[in-house]
Structure 1
Amino acid sequence: MASSKRKIGLLFIGLILAIVVTLLISLNMGTMRIAPLDVWKTMIGQGSDQNQLVLFDFRLPRMVIALLIGTGMAISGAILQGVTHNELADPGILGINSGAGFAVVLFIYLTQGSTTSQVFILPLAALAGATIAAILIYLISWKNGVSPIRLILVGIGINSAFSALIIVFQLKMDPDNFTQATIWLSGNISGTDWTYTLALLPWILILLPITFYKAGTLDALHLGDETAQGLGTHVERERMFLLFIAVALAGASVAVGGAIAFLGLVIPHLARKLVGARHKHMLVISALLGALLLLVADTIGRNILSPSEIPVGLIVSLIGGNYFIYLLMKS
């Protein structure tokens, strides 16, 4: 037990250090490279005006957004896999992301443009779309209970339906809004600033501690409904509450960062392999792994074809898609 706790502690510290190192490297890299010493001087307020503009107005906001979205999507996936007893559950595969995406595209279409206030409204619109998708999936999947395979199949169908509706409304948009929606749907965080950070941060700060508090409930649900009831858990009430948290985290993340798929699938698997199935530890490691993966993916996307950029969603999909195929072959 002591060695296990020590291993988890070392892993926690290692991930924190990896995130810090990646942040420092990412601050240095880009179309305009800034020497590490100049980065440090700028961070303590002694850098040039140009470096301050690049670091504080362009690079730091998208890095913080990457950390928040990576955390939110990873925790959302971990919750979904826990409450559905399905290792293939993921907000993207189940159609929750596309439901949120449809709501955002519809909002862009109806408002014809974007303002600062709309940045704060988008997470609410995405939450509404994600909630509708989740309700549809749950109701259609229900047949004397919800079987994992049925849930996945219905989720894929709902995902396709919302994706088709997204295309329909995109085709009705004017060129500017069409371009905005297309870039957003690819999972792109290049246009984010501190306003987007402020829009997403409250969702993460409020919902993350609640999820960690519910780690014991997730452990009980993972044992099966009958066992969970025997342990005094109100199964359906807790399942619906946890599903709402997962949907809210995914919806808010999608509203800001676009349709970033497979992150919620891959990260919980890696966390379970590293620290086991107990959610007390797995959720924390999932949050750190999600933040690290999306930050690394964004750094790669910004620099591999510089000065052009690859949307972070495509980088994550390259990793997550192959891992999804591996899981399907394995099971």
Structure 2
Amino acid sequence: MITAAKIRKQIIVCVTMLILIAATFVIGTRLGSGSFSLDRLLVTLFGHGTSKENLLLFSIRLPRVVITLLAGMALALSGSILQGITRNDLADPGIIGINAGAGVAISVFFLYFPLDPRNFAYVLPIVAFVGALITAAVIYLFSYSRSTGLKPVKLVLVGVGFALALNGLMVVLISSTDYRKVDFIAQWLAGTIWGADWPFVWAVLPWLVILLPYVLYKSNVLNLLAMDESIAIGAGVSVNRDRLLLLGSAVALAAAAVSVTGGIAFVGLMAPHIAKAIVGRRHQFYVPLAVLMGGWLLLLADTVGRHLVDPSGIPAGIMVALIGGPYFLYLLLRK
């Protein structure tokens, strides 16, 4: 039974995360060359800044902060779904190869297809989705057995193998193409937030707006799938249909995120796992917290990385990996 105490705890923790996001948002938009004082930031946000302040905030810093926040949320939601349907707390779109599949599709599209600047931001998430979906389908087939169903440990091992192979394929693609196009793929592999412009925000936002309510609606199904397949069947869940629909949702969210942020792993691993430790394993409780935490983690990593080393900073993907790598090993040893 859902108690009032649990609901109250969830609200308190989510409000705390919103405060952390707001604080990191202010820090991220204030710092950098041409820094804002807090009063000038507020004045500019409400449309009363100078032309230089408006350009700096609304054309450069604000879209980067918003796209980073949305991408972190999408990765965390994707990880929450994958951990539920696979019954494995180590599942993450970056670790099990979904991000790498999206990266190969993006690399092939960028290197070998004509690019139209007018619709590039909107086509890229679709290209990434196709690549990630094909990869996820192949990994699922390798991990599934008719006699025993989906094997969670095998899924992670197969996914790690595919991630390594597909990252190697991206290196081969880089080495065999025009050196002038190599820089983009290298930035993608490092997890650089490159899609920092408003068209990319509008390209990613619909995926999150549509799929977050859907996942929350399917919370009870995810609860049952996370327990045991036989229990889910006994409760009347159409296991194969719901699992495939949720897997497609996880793939779409991860593909939309990495199409603008590059190959970022571990956000989808850490955010759900920490959220479960705080508010429990029921999806209706921990998914909203995991989404907020994922957005904050990636925003914090990008904010710190941008100002840690001059002039170009450290990519957000590397900053997240510095924390997520040891955390993944800790979970692997514990499980």
TM range (shorter): over 0.9
Partner of 1:260: 264
Provide the rounded CA distance (Å) in 1 between the counterparts of 2:284 and 2:299: 24
Map of 1:249 onto structure 2:
253
* Structure 1 match to 2:71: 69
User: Is the 8 Å Cα contact of residues 187 and 313 (structure 1) preserved in structure 2?
Assistant: yes
Displacement, 1:291? 0.7
TM-score (norm 1): 0.97
Q: 1:302 aligns with which of 285, 301, 306?
A: 306
Match of 1:27 in 2: 29
Instruction: For 1:54 and 1:114, locate their aligned partners in 2 and report how far apart those are by CA, in whole Å.
Output: 26
Give the match for residue 116 of structure 1.
118
The residue that corresponds to 1:205 in the other structure is 209
Q: How does 1:10-89 map to 2 (within 5 A)?
A: 10-89=12-91
Paired with 1:107 and 1:193, the residues of 2 have a C-alpha distance of 20
Alignment partner, residue 318 of structure 1? 322
Matches within 5 A, 1:274-285: 274-285=278-289
TM-score (norm: length of structure 2) = 0.96
- Cα deviations by residue, 1:257-296 (Å, 9 ceiling, x for unpaired): 1110111111110000011000001110010000111111
Describe the shift of the 1:114–1:307 C-alpha distance in structure 2 as closer, same or farther (beyond 3 A).
farther
- Aligned with 1:71: secondary structure? helix
CA shift digits 1:185-228 (9 cap, x unpaired)? 21111451101111111111111111111111101111211111
1:95–1:158: 8 Å Cα contact kept in structure 2?
A: yes
- Structure 1 vs Structure 2 CA RMSD: 1.2
How many residues end up aligned between the 2 structures? 331
Which of these residues, 126, 135, 138, is aligned with residue 136 of structure 1? 138
Distance 1:186 1:116, change over 3 A: farther
Contact preservation (8 Å) 2:194, 2:260: no
Q: What percentage of residue pairs aligned between the two structures are identical?
A: 42
How far is 1:113 from its partner? 5.2
The 3-state SS of whatever aligns with 2:119 is helix
Quote the offset at 1:121 in angstroms. 0.8
Give secondary structure in 2 for the equivalent of 1:101.
helix
Counterpart Cα distance in 1 of 2:160 and 2:56 = 41
- Aligned counterparts of 2:241 and 2:91: Cα–Cα separation in 1: 20
Residue 182 of structure 1 pairs with residue 186 of structure 2: yes
Q: Which secondary structure does the structure 2 equivalent of 1:116 belong to?
A: coil
Q: Deviations over 1:152-202 (max 9, x none)?
A: 111111112211211111112212211011112211114511011111111
Who is 1:161 aligned against? 165
> Structure 1 counterpart of 2:117, which letter?
T
Write the letter of the residue equivalent to 2:57: L
**Where does structure 2 lack aligned partners over 5 or more consecutive residues?**
none
TM-aligned CA distance change 1:191 to 1:207, over 3 Å: closer
Instruction: Tell me whether 241-250 or 115-124 shows the greater mean CA deviation.
Output: 115-124
Q: State how far apart, in whole Å, the 1-side matches of 2:295 and 2:65 are.
A: 10
Deviations 1:298-317 (A, max 9, x none): 11011112332211111111
1:59 CA drift (Å): 0.5
Q: Gaps (5+ residues) in structure 1?
A: none
CA contact (8 A) 1:271 1:285 kept: yes
When structure 1 is superposed on structure 2, of 153-162 and 125-134 the one drifting more is 153-162
- Assess if the C-alpha contact under 8 Å between 1:116 and 1:195 holds in 2: no
